[in-house]
Structure 1
Amino acid sequence: MKSIYSTVLTLIFFTISCNSNTTNKDNSHKEQLTQEQLETYETAYFASGCFWCVEAIFESVKGVKEVVSGYAGGKASTANYKLVSAGRTDHAEAVKVYYDAKVVSYKTLVKVFFGSHDPTTLNRQGPDAGRQYRSAIFYKNAKEKQIVETYINQLKKDKVFNGEITTEVVKYTAFYDAEGYHQDYEANNPNNPYIKGVSIPRLKRFQKKFPELLKKKAH
């Protein structure tokens, strides 16, 4: 009976995983900043499960100007969804966050990162399992590394999480943008089963936990 129950759960998780039900829906409704404008802002790189979820969370944070879904931390010299989802490149689904450092600090983004997922589940986040869904922070310099390590040490000291924090803290090397249909996926596909069952609830939990970090809604 136990094995049958486990099989059923696995099938349910698979049907609503980040690796299913992708569509090519246009996302041109979103106002886009030019690359020249984006380059005036700071960047940060994070991975904490399905990038559909992570992108939406960081997009909701004030001071964040743009979030791009993509791939980071792999051994291969290139990456695409087919290869990464099959675990063939060791890349993680990640996001590139463009942010205004005058409005939101890197430390606050690290707070958003740890406050919006479970960093104790090794190579897994919710229904998504595999190295591509690992928890990781890709620091660009010694200052960012110190901020991350200090924050993790404080989390451990305060015993914020019951389990061991498995987040990889590694030097940033390269980031590959995900395919166009992955960008703004949650906003563009609100009726997708995974978005309704996993992404939106995860976003709402974060928003409820940190209302002071959210962008003001336009009236």
Structure 2
Amino acid sequence: MKHIIPILALMLFFSCQNTAQTKQEQKAVINAAPIEVPIKNGKARAYFASGCFWCVEAIYESVKGVDESISGYSGGYTKNPTYGSSNTGRTGHAEAVEIIYDPKIVSFETLVDVYFASQNVTQMNGQGNDRGSQYRSIIFYQNDIQKQIILKKKAALAKSLGVKIAAEVYPFQKFWIAEDYHQDYEKLHPNHPYIQNVSIPRLNRFKAKFPKEFLKEEAH
């Protein structure tokens, strides 16, 4: 996790032994019609859950055309989730990011490629030692075009690797912004042990394999 606590204790505390993902309220979220966020001042928004948002924020902000990555919660059925409540695994929400980007510079398709290239695509309910439904992988779509892009890329990846891809595909409903202290965490706390040992290595692994023409030269 993000604090210096024995991994075994974390696994016990953040156990997935809850019924959040099987509740009728959660099924209603998964089966709902997607909500489309309008383009504002030429900027579009996309939403992804891929483990710890401290990691994901920095990854997307290294991509050309991405103005900002905001940490928050999405995919669940409870209102006003907090870091504490989402970490129980009982809200249905996952740690997620809102990506504010210029669609004239970077496409939604490329953002999906970034998503798959920056994670362990086979790990269920987590990334690395961050485990639990609150860390599960979800790609959110806002319309049928986005849904088809996601499903085609997910199927192609599964075929090429010969594995089951863990990412779930949800209709976007609402994004809840996380507490202020979570925002720009990697930039503001570069020497934090989690940032040094988890976030930065994950960012560097992504940058090493993603096409350089899509990455900002000055980023991190």
Structure-1-length-normalised TM-score: 0.80
Q: Identify the residue that residue 107 of structure 1 maps to in structure 2.
A: 109
Higher mean Cα deviation, 39-48 or 112-121? 39-48
- 1:23-62 matched pairs, under 5 angstroms: 39-62=41-64
3-state SS of 1:215 partner: coil
Residue deviations 1:86-143 (CA, integer Å, cap 9, x gap): 2231100000001111110000000000000012111010110000000100111101
- Aligned AA for 2:138? A
- Aligned AA for 2:207? Q
Change over 3 Å in CA distance of 1:172–1:39 after alignment to 2: farther
User: Structure 2, unaligned stretches of length 5 or more?
Assistant: 15-38
Q: Identify the residue that residue 187 of structure 1 maps to in structure 2.
A: 187
Q: Identify the residue that residue 83 of structure 2 maps to in structure 1.
A: 81
Q: Distance in 2 between matches of 1:217 and 1:140?
A: 31
Say whether the 8 Å CA contact 1:137–1:168 is kept in structure 2.
yes
Q: Distance in 1 between matches of 2:149 and 2:122?
A: 19
3-state SS of 2:80 partner: coil
Shift of 1:78: 1.9
Q: Identify the residue that residue 4 of structure 1 maps to in structure 2.
A: none
Shift of 1:75: 1.1
Q: Distance in 2 between matches of 1:213 and 1:44?
A: 17
3-state SS of 1:67 partner: strand
3-state SS of 2:76 partner: coil
The alignment of Structure 1 onto Structure 2 pairs a total of residues equal to: 187
- Aligned AA for 2:182? H
Change over 3 Å in CA distance of 1:48–1:147 after alignment to 2: same
Percent identity between the two aligned chains: 52
Q: Identify the residue that residue 176 of structure 1 maps to in structure 2.
A: 176
Change over 3 Å in CA distance of 1:186–1:74 after alignment to 2: same
Q: Identify the residue that residue 11 of structure 1 maps to in structure 2.
A: 6
Residue deviations 1:157-191 (CA, integer Å, cap 9, x gap): 222xx531111001000100000110000111111
Say whether the 8 Å CA contact 1:13–1:127 is kept in structure 2.
no
- 1:202-217 matched pairs, under 5 angstroms: 202-210=202-210, 211-217=212-218
